Amino acid sequence: NAGVTQTPKFQVLKTGQSMTLQCAQDMNHNSMYWYRQDPGMGLRLIYYSASEGTTDKGEVPNGYNVSRLNKREFSLRLESAAPSQTSVYFCASSEALSGRGSDTQYFGPGTRLTVL
């Protein structure tokens, strides 16, 4: 049982390049999330998916797109990377459909992205 896995672990991009961050969970969770972590700002929610086929914007969605490919996988795409997107990206999942507030979110190891 690997929990939440993310690839890649590290990535360096040039401004304007695109890339997709992959996330998968093996806990049969319904809800999945993408966060970014910046120094002194904690984690901020980018996008959320309550179930396969549904996605919603979080606090900082601009410049990102997501796909909930199936129940296990939730990817985050940067279409045209900018230096402001340099950050550590975390994927998370939780059990409940529609993200019941009291549910624990389980986090992946993170992807450290640098945009030059």
Partner 1 sequence: AQSVSQHNHHVILSEAASLELGCNYSYGGTVNLFWYVQYPGQHLQLLLKYFSGDPLVKGIKGFEAEFIKSKFSFNLRKPSVQWSDTAEYFCAVNSNDYKLSFGAGTTVTVRA
Nearest to partner 1 of 77, 100 (CB atom):
100
Q: What six digits make up the tokens of 40?
A: 């002194």
Site for partner 1 in 26-85 (CB under 8 A): 31, 33, 40-45, 48, 50, 58-59
Instruction: Give yes or no for residue 110 binding partner 1 (CB under 8 A).
Output: yes
Task: Identify the residue among 25, 85, 93, 94 touching partner 1 (CB under 8 A).
Answer: 94
Instruction: Tell me how far CA of residue 93 lies from CA of 17, 70, 85, 101, in angstroms.
Output: 28, 13, 22, 12
Which one, of 36, 41, 92, lies nearest residue 63 by Cα? 36
- Residue (12 or 41) nearer to partner 1, CB: 41
For residue 100, give both structure tokens. Answer: 């019941």
One of 23, 74, 93, 108 touching partner 1 (CB under 8 A): 108
On whether the CB atoms of residues 74 and 87 are closer than 8 A, the answer is no
CA angle 17, 21, 24 (to 5 degrees): 165
Residues binding partner 1 (CB under 8 A)? 3-4, 31, 33, 40-45, 48, 50, 58-59, 90, 92, 94, 98-102, 104-105, 107-110
